[in-house]
């Protein structure tokens, strides 16, 4: 049995992703304006619920890449699922699934937390390499899934920071590589930890330490972590190239 999954999201981003993900194992194709996720990795899965879960896990990683490279505002979603017997016999069965309609005006310019331009129009090759790296590196896999899940709260931002920090060894390494300024990193941790600064999404319910007088804004924290993850991912790609 083979499967295909119609996906919904920003059409410009999906078009860029369709140019990058073209392997037999997994690819995005544009069929008369409908973007579909297909590939051999889904062959033989028994039941549309299992197939959908498997596809959504891959789509979360793809959304994570789109967040990093295209500043995707909302995760890509599965709109419908279709199955077909491998010999071509039988009829495709589509299962309608609820998915939010997403209309996002995208920019291909990617900037860091200070507004400096990092890159424009990531190449299909670089997107493909990043996605393939997730299959080899559990930390990269988890980072992309967290980014692509659509929950960029203080708690998840801190989880992303911890993964990067533990992978490289320490905050000192992060700062020494110019991935983040020391003061910004400290303010991020302080704000994320303190309930008076980041509210109910803080990592702690109560702290005796005083809250920062000028906490970091959530949007600033998201930009900081985006930059941090991008630079960490670039380092990991160079190590395997």
Place of tokens 């490289």: 168
Tell whether 123 is covered by a domain.
no
Tell whether 138 is covered by a domain.
no
Tell whether 50 is covered by a domain.
yes
Q: How far apart are CA 38 and CA 24, in angstroms?
A: 9
Q: Residues 101, 194: one domain? A: no
Q: Residues 15, 67: one domain? A: yes
Q: Residues 102, 179: one domain? A: no
Token readout for 168 is: 């490289």
Tell whether 137 is covered by a domain.
no
Beta bridge partners of 95: 81
For the full predicted model, state whether its pTM sits above 0.95. no
Residue 97 contacts residue 79 (beta carbons within 8 Å) = yes
Beta bridge partners of 34: 31
Q: How far apart are CA 130 and CA 134, in angstroms?
A: 7
Last residue of a domain, one of 58, 93, 110: 110
DSSP secondary structure letter of residue 35: E
Q: Residues 198, 106: one domain? A: no
Last residue of a domain, one of 110, 139, 168: 110
Tell whether 143 is covered by a domain.
no
Tell whether 48 is covered by a domain.
yes
Predicted local distance difference test score (pLDDT) of residue 96: 53
Q: Residues 155, 102: one domain? A: no
Q: Residues 167, 90: one domain? A: no
Last residue of a domain, one of 110, 141, 169: 110
The total of structural domains in the chain comes to 2
In degrees rounded to 5, what are phi and psi of residue 7?
A: -120, 150
Q: Which residues are within 8 A (CB) of 219 and not within 5 positions of it... i.e. 6 or more apart?
A: none
Q: Residues 19, 96: one domain? A: yes
Question: Residue 17: which domain range?
Answer: 2-110
Checking 10-13 for CB contacts under 8 A at 24+ apart, the result is 10/70, 10/72, 10/73, 10/102, 10/103, 10/104, 10/106, 11/35, 12/106, 13/66, 13/70, 13/72, 13/76, 13/104, 13/106
Q: Residues 177, 94: one domain? A: no
Q: Residues 42, 104: one domain? A: yes
Per-run averaged pLDDT (10 residues), the chain, 241 residues: 92 93 95 94 91 95 93 90 72 52 44 53 83 94 94 95 97 97 96 89 82 93 96 93 72
Tell whether 135 is covered by a domain.
no
Tell whether 131 is covered by a domain.
no
Residue 71 contacts residue 110 (beta carbons within 8 Å) = yes
Q: Which residues are within 8 A (CB) of 42 and not within 5 positions of it... i.e. 6 or more apart?
A: 2, 3, 5, 26, 51, 54, 55
CATH of the domain at 100: 3.90.1600
């Amino acid at each position: 049995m083979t499967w295909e999954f119609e996906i919904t999201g920003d059409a410009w981003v999906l078009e860029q992703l369709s140019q990058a993900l073209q392997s037999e194992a997994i690819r995005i194709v544009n069929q008369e304006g409908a973007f579909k996720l297909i590939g051999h990795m889904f062959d033989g899965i028994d039941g549309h619920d299992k197939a959908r879960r498997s596809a959504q896990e891959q789509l979360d990683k793809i959304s994570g890449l789109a967040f990093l490279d295209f500043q995707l505002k909302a995760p890509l979603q599965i709109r419908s699922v279709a199955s077909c017997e491998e010999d071509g016999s039988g009829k495709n069965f589509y299962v309608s699934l609820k998915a939010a309609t997403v209309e996002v005006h995208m920019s291909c310019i990617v900037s860091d937390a200070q507004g400096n331009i990092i890159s424009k129009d990531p190449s299909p090759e670089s997107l493909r390499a990043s996605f393939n790296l997730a299959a080899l590196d559990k930390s990269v896999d988890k980072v992309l899934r967290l980014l692509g899940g659509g929950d960029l709260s203080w708690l998840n931002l801190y989880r992303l920071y911890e993964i990067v920090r533990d992978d490289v060894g320490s905050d000192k390494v992060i700062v020494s590589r110019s991935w983040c300024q020391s003061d910004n990193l400290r303010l991020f941790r302080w704000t994320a930890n303190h309930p008076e600064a980041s509210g109910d999404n803080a990592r702690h319910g109560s702290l005796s330490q005083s809250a920062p007088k000028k906490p970091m804004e959530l949007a600033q924290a998201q930009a900081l972590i985006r930059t941090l993850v991008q630079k960490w991912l670039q380092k990991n790609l160079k190590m395997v190239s």
